Amino acid sequence: MSIKLDYKPVVVLTDYMYDSIQPFQDVYDRAGFEFRPYQCKTAEEIIQVAKDADAVQVHFAKITKEIIDALPKCRLIVRSAVGMDNIDVAAATAAGIPVANVPDYGIEDVSTHAILLMLAITKKFNILTRTVQEGMWDYAVTKPVHRIQNRVFGLMGCGAIARCAAKKAQAFGMRVIAYDPYLKQDQVNDLDIILKSAKEVAQESDVVSVHLPLTSETKEIIDREFFGWMKPGAFLINTARGGVIQERDLLQALQTGQIAGAGLDVLSQEYIEKDDPLLQMNNVIITPHAAWYSEEAEFTLLTSAAEEVVRGLNGEPLKHPFNKIPYAKQL
């Protein structure tokens, strides 16, 4: 059944970190939906504000089974981001609620940031800029530096962002290999990417770029054993999720010279203390989960998330149903 003509769907936004949410509002105004943005801090707050919502839109807030079970009117959950580790997808699926995300808004931006981190850490750009600011004018402070041409760029995960990063690495003359258990070789032949095991990617790569979602299968998959497989001169790049790396093992690998360096845009916690040992190391560059951001990406993200909600509540098939439920229940 289609939506009742006299009914105005209610969409609750649980939280957000954007300077402006006007793109959300514009989409919902055009659709004739009632949009209620909040900055919820607890599960109780989410339940209270979303108890009559047809759809819940979420950014960082955790949507647990407790919350899902307390929202009997909810017909759709959409995350305005890529990763879904803050939503109990299994609980939503059990309740018959489709869960969707926006996986394609920042492909260009995140892949470029991965390459940026690779170039910066392999060229030791942080050391160069810091020493110039300190009054030194000597390239030799970075010795040794090696060119990346003809080196191996290894992907852990080979989705859309990784594939875009692969093209950019290939433009620098790098050979690309990848680990992705959900792909077969003929699916990436046209991209000139060779699929390998995780161990082979670690052993053969001069740069390992992580593009894995955070799931029970991938949590801390980059650990002591993985670092032990890597070349002593290899670098690790992570623009995916911090939780896929065991950070104690990473720190040890960096401190002992087991790997040459790391460029990190994400950490297991979305902040870092000033005295964290990672910040004291010359062979580490850290950015504050900034890979996704450009003005264009932010606008696309906001409009695409809201448009997915409108599609779902209007009875249209979802563009990106994460739990494979393509339609929201209709009134």
Start-to-end CA distance of the chain, whole Å, equals: 7
Provide the residue count of the chain. 331
Catalytic annotation on 320? no
Query: Which among 36, 59, 175, 289 is annotated as catalytic?
Result: 289
Tokens 């680990």 belong to 179
Amino acid letter, 323: N
Structure tokens at 266: 């994400």
Dihedral angle computed from the Cα positions of residues 42, 45, 46 and 47, in that order, rounded to the nearest 10 degrees = 120
Q: Give, for 65, the enclosing helix (H) or strand (E).
A: helix 65-69
Catalytic annotation on 270? yes
Cα distances (Å, whole numbers) of residue 254 to 48, 146, 220, 284: 46, 18, 16, 8
Catalytic annotation on 241? yes
Query: Which among 44, 217, 225, 270 is annotated as catalytic?
Result: 270
Query: Which among 151, 241, 307, 311 is annotated as catalytic?
Result: 241
Residue 4: the pLDDT is: 53
CATH 3.40.50.720 in the chain, residue ranges: 10-105+294-313, 107-286
What pTM was estimated for this model as a whole? 0.91
Residue 1: the pLDDT is: 41
Cα distances (Å, whole numbers) of residue 195 to 14, 184, 217: 40, 8, 19
8 A C-beta contact, residue 276 and residue 135: no
Tokens 């001169």 belong to 233
Residue 5: the pLDDT is: 53
3-state helix, strand, coil in the chain (%, to 5): 35, 15, 45
Phi, psi at residue 321, to the nearest 5°?
-75, 110
Superfamily, domain 107-286:
NAD(P)-binding Rossmann-like Domain (3.40.50.720)
Superfamily, domain 10-105+294-313:
NAD(P)-binding Rossmann-like Domain (3.40.50.720)
8 A C-beta contact, residue 108 and residue 167: no
Give pLDDT tens digits along the chain (331 positions): 445 557 899 999 999 999 899 999 999 999 999 999 999 999 999 999 999 999 999 999 999 999 999 999 999 999 999 989 899 999 999 999 999 999 999 999 999 999 999 999 999 999 999 999 999 999 999 999 999 999 999 999 999 999 999 999 999 999 999 999 999 999 999 999 999 999 999 999 999 999 999 999 999 999 999 999 999 999 999 999 999 999 999 999 999 999 999 999 999 998 899 999 999 999 999 999 999 999 999 999 999 999 999 999 999 999 999 999 999 999 8
